[in-house]
Amino acid sequence: MGKEIGSDGFTTDDFTRFHRRLALETQHAHDAYARGEFANEGLLGGFELEAWLVDEQLLPVPRNVSFLERMANPLVVPELSRFNVELNGTPQPLRAKALSQLESELTTTWQQCLRVAGEEGSALIAIGTLPTLREADLSLANMSPFKRYAMLNEQILLLRGGRPLNLDIAGIETLRTTHADVMLEAATTSFQVHLQTPASEAARTYNASLILAAPLLALAANSPFLFGHALWHETRIPLFEQAVDCCDPGHPKHMRVTFGSGYLGSDPTACFAENLSNYAVLLPFEVPGPRQAYAHLRLHNGTIWRWNRMLIGFDEQQRPHLRVEQRVLPAGPSMIDMIANAAFYYGAVRMLAGESVAPETQLSFALARDNFYRAARDGLDAQLDWLDGRRAPAGELLTQELLPLARAGLTRLELAAADIDRYLGVIGERLRNRQNGAAWQLAHYAKHHDFFRLVADYLDHQRRFMPVHEWPI
């Protein structure tokens, strides 16, 4: 979905040809995995960070076209709206000082973005949902001028028969509204963590990622407000699921944004077969090239937004590899917080994926999914079911069991001891203070009752590169 497409419209023949190519590539991926053709060594980590451009009044400002021209940095690319951009990190082998290298690159790119935005009288902010956002900002006039976004909106509305999108979120308060297009998605900015894994370990890693999604989300929640309402600690979750809901109301399993339909078995490419069987093609753009390039499979996969997503990529020798995209994390609050979240994930998922008794045999998929939505609603206070059959608050589970597990995993990966101490120290202090981004925002608003002051203080703390557990109210 990150690449521009070349069509101004689609015909029935376009869909037929695309689906034929998609079926061939899906079968090829299955066969190639069975033949051992996917890369089976190495662990690499990377990220994508979505951010907001705001003006001097701390309102979204639609300037990403001129901003990106001035940036001229291939790591910084457009997003759905004109007031969002995406920062990418160079994948790093998960060893030695990989974590501090990821943070250093992110910080360098971020500081360049701040300078360029400042030259235009704007600022850049990384936050899950922007408290000063108005629904009127999410108009097609503010959609980035790229064909893929216009066509995506057109196809989703066609599948809905032209019906508006209904937003209905009941949390601390309740928000109900209707919206005519997919621009609601632009309100959900995230920090997406990638983990390339040996093909033989991909299914176990994916399943462990599903199990970790709930505690990870509780740990990192940073999106409590939307359109002036306090909703879930991580409002991004229901917002994104409803923002691109193009399924038949009688077939919820075909929703484009979901926790998924189940754990993977021995074949990690089964998720691509599910994509082929269950999801309508949205962007039938035919790409020249051999089936082993998986161009159509990857494009179709990019229009199905599971909260954990299996991806196919290629290494320097053009061998295909598998990686898990952990999509549950919100953007922000600070650079070190985000890398600390990634470090926690890398360590914990490595340990869970390597357990002699697969954790997916100990926690049902239904419970993992229920955990996820409870964590999104209640953050660190969410009651989570765990592998030993007990139920505990997320904060307690993270402190007592998962933080030591993450440390063991990072140590097993032979990451630098100073990095392990630095990033997991941030996680430990956040848990000790019970202050993630959502908790800080809710407490700040409860004290000051001013969204603009909230965003101004948030932006100031973020610019000082302070971890959120140190932020004053």
pLDDT digit string (tens) for the chain, length 473 residues: 444 445 557 899 999 999 999 999 999 999 999 999 999 998 999 999 999 999 999 999 999 999 999 999 999 999 999 999 999 999 999 999 999 999 999 999 999 999 999 999 999 999 999 999 999 999 999 999 998 899 999 999 888 888 899 999 999 999 999 999 999 999 999 999 999 999 999 999 999 999 999 999 999 999 999 999 999 999 999 999 999 887 655 444 468 999 999 999 999 999 999 999 999 999 999 999 999 999 999 999 999 999 999 999 998 889 999 999 999 999 999 999 999 999 999 999 999 999 999 999 999 999 999 999 999 999 999 999 999 899 999 999 999 999 999 999 999 999 999 999 999 999 999 999 999 999 999 999 999 999 999 999 999 999 999 999 999 99
Residue 347: name the closest of 285, 295, 301, 409 by CA. 409
Instruction: Show the domains of the chain with their CATH numbers.
Output: 12-468 (3.30.590.20)
Burial class (CB in 10 A: 0-12, 13-18, 19+), 439: buried
3-state secondary structure the chain: CCCCCCCCCCCHHHHHHHHHHHHHHHHHHHHHHHCCCCCCCCCEEEEEEEEEEECCCCCECCCHHHHHHHHCCCCEEECCECCEEEEECCCEECCECHHHHHHHHHHHHHHHHHHHHHHCCCEEECCCCCCCCCHHHCCHHHECCCHHHHHHHHHHHHHCCCCCEEEEEECCCEEEEEECCHHHHHHCCEEEEEEEECHHHHHHHHHHHHHHHHHHHHHHCCECEECCEECCCECHHHHHHHHCCCCCCCCHHHCCCCCCCCCCCCCCCHHHHHHHHHCCCCCCCCCCCCHHHCHHHHHHHCCCCCCEEEEEEECCCCCEEEEEEECCCECCCCHHHHHHHHHHHHHHHHHHHCCCCCHHHCCCHHHHHHHHHHHHHHHHHCEEECCCCCEEEHHHHHHHHHHHHHHHHHHHCCECHHHHHHHHHHHHHHHHHCCCHHHHHHHHHHHHCCHHHHHHHHHHHHHCCCCHHHCCC
Q: Output the six-digit token pair for 440.
A: 């800080």
